[in-house]
Amino acid sequence: MFASFGQFFQFFFVLAYSLLTSAQSLVLAVTAVIIVAELVLLVYFLKGRRKKKEVVATIDNVETAGFRSTIEKIEDLKAEKETLISQIDELKKIADTKADVLESEVNALREEMNARKSLISKSKAGVDSNLKKNNEDNASEN
C-alpha cells in the first residue's frame, strides 16, 4: 500500500490535518501520528533485530562447523600419532633384535680371532724351536 515509511507518515499527517480543525483535534491527530510512527519504527526495529539474530545464528553455525572440523582434525591426528608410536615401537624392537644378533656375531668373531691367535702363537713357538734346532744342527755339521 505504502512504498516507504515517509509516504505512510505523510498520508496520516495530511489526513489528520484535513479532518480536524480545532487545536485540540490537531493535538490528538499529531499524537495519533506519533503513536503510529512509533509503532512502525518498533516493527522495523524488531525486523532488524530478527535479521541480526539470523546473522548471529548463521555465524554460530559457521563457527560450529569450523570447530567441528577442527575437532575432527585433532581426532584424526591423535589416531595417526598412536599409529606412528606403535610403528616406532615395532621398529625399536626390530633394531634391538638386530643389535643383539650383531653383538653375538661380533663376540663369536672375537672368540675365533683369539683362538687363531693362540694357535698361531703356539705354532710359532713350535716353529721357532724347530728353526733353532735346525740352525744348531746345520751349524754342528759345518
How many other C-beta atoms are found inside a 10 Å radius of the C-beta of residue 17? 14
Q: Please, are residues 33 and 57 in contact by the beta-carbon 8 Å criterion?
A: no
Q: Please, are residues 41 and 57 in contact by the beta-carbon 8 Å criterion?
A: no
Mean pLDDT of 22-32: 66
The three grid cell numbers given for residue 7, joined into one nine-digit string: 509516504
Q: In the structure, what pLDDT confidence band is assigned to residue 103 with cuts at 50, 70 and 90?
A: very high
Reply yes or no on whether the pLDDT at 131 is more than 70: no
Element of type H or E holding 139: helix 23-141
Q: In the structure, what pLDDT confidence band is assigned to residue 82 with cuts at 50, 70 and 90?
A: very high
Mean pLDDT of 1-13: 61
Q: Give the single-character DSSP code of 75.
A: H
Q: Please, are residues 16 and 29 in contact by the beta-carbon 8 Å criterion?
A: yes
Place of cell 683362538: 115
